[in-house]
A and B are shown apart, each in its own frame.
Chain A
């Protein structure tokens, strides 16, 4: 058995890697939304810019997609909650022998691949359409209709699970009491069970909406003329990437985080409010209740985020990356210039070397020879016979400033000999 410390270390490492894998892509993607290059990059970082959000806001197709997503979402939510609730209630009433089969059937849509659901929906209603002799433009070919039905098929299953879980905590004696006191079945349901289910209805609706909004596999076959945001996104990602997609991602991530925190805050408040014998028996493992609202960490984080978010938005309105971009551009130009210069110099240096006939200047034998008295670290260049135009200028300069040229004292004729002597001494 390993020691506790080793386990803790590996655990920590594992967590780091795991959450890095989980959150890294999102963080990087968020960064690219603010970076100016037209292809999403996190590195190198160029200019902080909010322009991609602007691009996003003006993208017609994206906006249309958002609209369709909401319409379809609303429809799917309504349908799924109604169906899921009915499904859950029937599950509790149905004969035990039938129960397993019934359960399998209504859970099946979750297991069926989304593409299959989309295809089957499409095909079925097309068939119905043909059998009834309707035209091509009929309801049964309508993207909204088909998508809502296709999505509802499996989202109802999710809703049903939510309701089943909630119903397990329901005391059926209450509906019996209601009946006993004179209520009809409908009244008992409406006045006793439904209020109990209200939180579940909320959760189911939120769940359904989120599932509907982000659904791709099924929607991609049924959308017809009404692409959702997800569909549009997929198109963009495959065919025309620019950081406006990242900016959409950032918005979604931020909204999600805000939503999650808000939910946490709300949940904490609920728990505090029903500190003794809750009506909605919230059974959770080992949480300690006496925390004041002010000490609610989620609330604090939420407030901080909202404030900083607002601040960022304000900042964005006034901030112009224009100067930064120009700078970046200029910097790029400069870099390019430098590189060009360097290349040019290198090339010239090579040319000069080519011009000087003779053995390679960097081998030992050459240094010894008299033929090239002026050899030093700079090679053949200073051989009197090699003086080209540049060097002539330099000589002139040297004469003006004896002993001083671009290369300093080295051209001092006196120094030459000294150098040579030094070299000879070395050898």
Chain B
């Protein structure tokens, strides 16, 4: 990664009256990286973005860009550019005028502006569309214009506020790749916020998972997925089966849990867990659907679960089988479609096996709502 400008959030608190929107956020974003804030609506990620871009001053703490304290510096003077959720393109200006707006306010000549606009149009693969008006473009094209407009301002940090949320699936997937490519091409720091964990995981170097104003975990995608540090992260990122129980024993990271309905199961304490576990604590065990498979026999063991099939579905790349789990919740297992002929009839009780290393145990806590 090229050396870009980093962003530091140092003990940031943001309050609106009585309401705490962001609670003690500490984040170090390296220059040139693609960093995402991931979380459900209302968790405070947009608020953080606005604090970085300058539309909001934190109640406490410091925002540093490139090491410099940004307090008191307005959005027009910060080396950031923000891409709004609804894009906020200027409807009465042509595409090229939109793109070169940041030059216009600096007083650049029309020739200069046109030239730069043309360069950027080429970069976003919209050559020759400069004379159009915004409403004549499609959703994906408008996205790209918004990006070009922001890049024209030569920001050190590009901030993106859920830019893909309004687009359809195929477009979203396509633009994900494009955005990542642009970022690597231009080499500046991208701060991206989203509620879609697929985006966050595929595009980012690091992800910060947020919940109700609190950052639960900051790590790269794999760590977040495999070693979540809170029950919320475990349940929010990807699909996960959650089994409740009480800790029976803890030994060097190996945990045995007396589950409420599925017997005694072995798992592993998440290395990233914020708190430790002791015998007797309420705990949640998380096993990914793809981490379980059908056992060869019916023998009971600490890494086996017996459950009754509720229904199954064929999703193309996988079979999903749903079984009765905890208190009315379902256990889902995902079997990669290798052409197997086996199907799971409703009502049949089967044995599932998993690798204890893949069963993450965490202190019981808030999980992501459906």
Contact = CB atoms under 8 A, between A and B. Distances in A.
B74 A179 contact: yes
A414 interface: no
Contacts of A182: 76-77, 102, 105-106, 153
Contacts of A181: 76, 81, 101-102, 105, 149-150, 153
A277 B134 CA distance: 9
A179 B88 contact: no
Interface residues of B, number: 28
B355 interface: no
Interface string B133-170: 11100000000000001100100000000000000000
Interface string B38-74: 0000000000000001110000000000000000001
B127 interface: no
A147 B133 CA distance: 44
B86 A171 contact: yes
B105 A176 contact: no
A87 to B, nearest CB: 24
B92 interface: yes
Contacts of B272: none
Interface stretch (A128-136, A184-192, A367-375): A184-192
B145 to A, nearest CB: 12
B76 A183 contact: yes
A411 interface: no
A274 B134 CA distance: 12
Interface string A100-111: 000000000000
A172 to B, nearest CB: 9
A181 B74 CA distance: 11
Interface in B93-112: 101-102, 104-106
Contacts of A177: 82, 84, 88-90
Nearest to B101: A181
B160 to A, nearest CB: 12
Contacts of B270: none
A278 interface: yes
* Closest 6 pairs between A and B when the two form their complex, measured CB to CB: A173-B88, A279-B91, A277-B135, A181-B102, A177-B88, A183-B105
Interface of A: 171, 173-174, 176-184, 187, 191-192, 195-196, 274, 276-280
Interface of B: 53-55, 74-77, 80-82, 84, 86, 88-92, 101-102, 104-106, 133-135, 149-150, 153
15 contacts: A173-B88, A177-B84, A177-B89, A178-B90, A179-B74, A180-B55, A180-B76, A181-B81, A181-B102, A181-B105, A181-B153, A182-B102, A187-B105, A274-B135, A280-B91
